[in-house]
Amino acid sequence: MSWTAAATKVCALLALAAALGWYYGQPLWAVAGTLLLLVGFWLYQMKRVQRWLRNPGEPPPETYGIWGDILSEIYQLQKKGREARDRLQSTVDYLQDSFSSMRDGVAIVDDHGLLKWFNEPAQSLLSLRPADKGQSLMNLVRAPEFLRYFNLGDFRKPLEYRTAGDSGAWLRVEITRFGDGDRLLFIRDITASVRMEKVRKDFVANVSHELRTPLTVISGYLGTFLSDTSRLDPRYIKPLQQMLQQAVRMENLLKDLLWLSRIESEQGMEVHTPVDIRSLLTELQDELRTAHPERKLELELATDHKVMGDYRELYSAVSNLVLNAIRYSVDNTVVNVSWSRRDGGYHLAVSDRGIGIDAAHIPRLTERFYRVEDSRSPASGGTGLGLAIVKHVAASHGARLKIESKLGKGSTFSLVFPGQGRGINPGDSPDAAAQPGEHLTARG
Ligand code: ADP
């Protein structure tokens, strides 16, 4: 029944009461009495509806008129709500089932850091108990690396850490935010792959180490033979020279392999010595002046920002870039090295006007032993490991390697250090964009 029909019905009833009252000479009393009866009836209906609403499990009571309609609409709404809730619950059950059956650990933490839910693998990986639901994750997982990572809130990269205790398992944790500040944690046991990786690194390091001594002996004797070619049969001179060239190449390769495995094994360890990039570059310039007196190295030192890190690693990265710039450009061109602040970061850029690199090769240059076809000749003296070393050093110093190059025109390799965090600026006003008076250009 519609509202207007109900109102018409009430009006008709009151009119009838007024007419009857008129007939008996008491119209007002008749209307008032009818109104009172109506109010009483409505109050009674309301009471039944209210009682039913408080016990929604029971079937709806028998009601009349507009109250019957209201009740049936409430009933329909309730039914729809129940169906939607059941559907939602079955989706949640389905998702929880699929998470539970995963071999990786999954846990949900709310915005206050309280554990809302976790599956069995998460329980054993993080050493939790079923009763820990609702507890603070921070109080349950004590690993300092985990606490730092979780509190920092920067989850762009996953965390890999070793758990304490006898087992010393390696865990990889990935965290994603969702909903209202909730966090979804994926935890994977990576102990086996970490062990394999260690075996591989140790193998490379051991083989490189073991091969160094025999190679030194071979190249030593070859050098001795070739130091006085007048006493050699001329037929042997060229082969001996080639042997020496290859032996030296192998020595360089082993040196780079050993250095790379050392950097890899030290990655992730705290580095906290301020490195003065200005003096590092000046030292490199002096060294190159001796090793390559024919080449010109121009330095542009526009900031005295110091980088927190390892001097030897940074030195090897920059010297690899500079040696490449020399190696892959013609003899009389200048190589430029600049140290400046730009776009909120600190850029150490090495530019040459050499052969350049086709854009197709750029994404693969930092792979071990990847070399552009033209530069494979032994005469280039490269090992194919230089940029892999640079990439590792960059990563362990929170920097990234940026490569810009144009075929036939030249290349710029830049180590971009973050503007905040791992550096030190003596008397640093948020500056450091090159102060005019500080601009220093040195020539090598
Ligand atoms: P390599 O020991 O061969 O130089 P790297 O890892 O240092 O190995 O470099 C990988 C490849 O990238 C090189 O073989 C070369 O083809 C290319 N490359 C690196 N630096 C430059 C450069 N400045 N100009 C042109 N090509 C370069």
Kindly report the protein residue whose alpha carbon is nearest to atom 25 of ligand 1: 356
**SS3 at position 371:** coil
The pLDDT of residue 142 is 85
C-beta of 323 in contact with ligand 1 (< 6 A): no
Q: How far is the CA of 411 from the centre of ligand 1 (A)?
A: 10
Specify the ligand 1 atom closest to the Cα of 320.
7
Cα of 371 to ligand 1 centre, how many Å? 6
If one compares 57 and 438, the residue with the highest pLDDT of the two is: 57
pLDDT > 50? residue 223: yes
Task: Answer whether CATH 3.30.565.10 is correct for domain 274-443.
Answer: yes
Instruction: Please give the average per-residue pLDDT across 267-274, as a whole number.
Output: 70
Residue 377 has pLDDT above 60, yes or no: no
Pocket flag, ligand 1, residue 21 (CB < 6 Å): no
Mean pLDDT is highest, among 121-135, 267-281, 412-426, for: 121-135
Q: Which pair of structure tokens corresponds to residue 122? A: 């998460």
Residues 6+ apart with CB under 8 A from 63: 45, 48, 49, 71
The tens digit of pLDDT for each residue in 322-369 reads 999 999 988 778 999 999 999 889 999 999 999 999 999 999 999 998
| CB distance 382 to ligand 1 below 6 Å | yes
pLDDT range class, residue 374, cuts 50, 70, 90: low
Separation between Cα atoms, residue 309 and residue 337, nearest integer Å: 20
The stretch 13-39 carries a mean pLDDT of: 92
Tens of pLDDT, residue by residue over 285-331, are: 999 989 888 888 999 999 999 999 999 999 999 999 999 999 998 87
Question: Which CATH number applies to 102-189?
Answer: 3.30.450.20
Most confident of 196-200, 262-266, 376-380, 417-421: 196-200
Provide the mean pLDDT of the chain: 87
**Whole-number pLDDT of residue 435:** 32
Domain ranges of the chain: 3-92, 102-189, 196-266, 274-443
In this structure, which amino acid lies at residue 123?
A: Q
Domain 196-266 maps to which CATH number in 1.10.287, 1.20.58, 3.30.2320, 1.10.8? Answer: 1.10.287
Answer positive or negative: Cα dihedral of 109, 110, 113, 116: negative
Find the angle CA(399)-CA(400)-CA(402) to the nearest 5 degrees: 140
Cβ atoms of 422 and 277 within 8 Å: the answer is no
* Average pLDDT over every residue of 382-410: 93
Same fold, 196-266 and 274-443: no
- What is the dihedral angle through the alpha carbons of 62, 65, 66, 71, rounded to the nearest 10 degrees? 10
One-character DSSP codes across 326-350: HHTS-TT-EEEEEEEEETTEEEEEE
Q: What is the pTM of this model?
A: 0.65
* CA 410 – CA 277 distance, rounded (Å): 24
| C-alpha 385 – ligand 1 centre gap (Å) | 9
pLDDT of the residue at 264 = 82
Residue 131 in this model has a pLDDT that exceeds 60: yes
Contact 241, 379 (CB under 8 A): no
Q: Return the residue whose CA atom lies nearest to atom 14 of ligand 1.
A: 371
To test the ligand 1 pocket, which listed residue (318, 333, 365) has its Cβ within 8 A of the most ligand atoms?
365
H-assigned helices in 25-157: 27-54, 65-100, 120-125, 137-140, 144-152
Strand locations in 150-236, DSSP E? Answer: 159-162, 170-178, 182-189
User: Three-state DSSP class for 198?
Assistant: helix
Q: Is the CB of 261 under 6 A from ligand 1?
A: no
pLDDT at 444: 28
pLDDT at 314: 95
Inform me whether the pLDDT recorded for 428 exceeds 50. no
Residue 163 has pLDDT above 80, yes or no: yes
Q: Which atom of ligand 1 is nearest to the CA of 410?
A: 24
pLDDT digits (tens, 9 = 90+) for 93-121: 888 888 888 889 999 999 999 999 999 99
pLDDT attached to residue 425: 57
Beta strand pairing status for 345-352 and 410-418?
A: antiparallel
> Does ligand 1 lie within 6 Å of residue 347's CB atom?
no
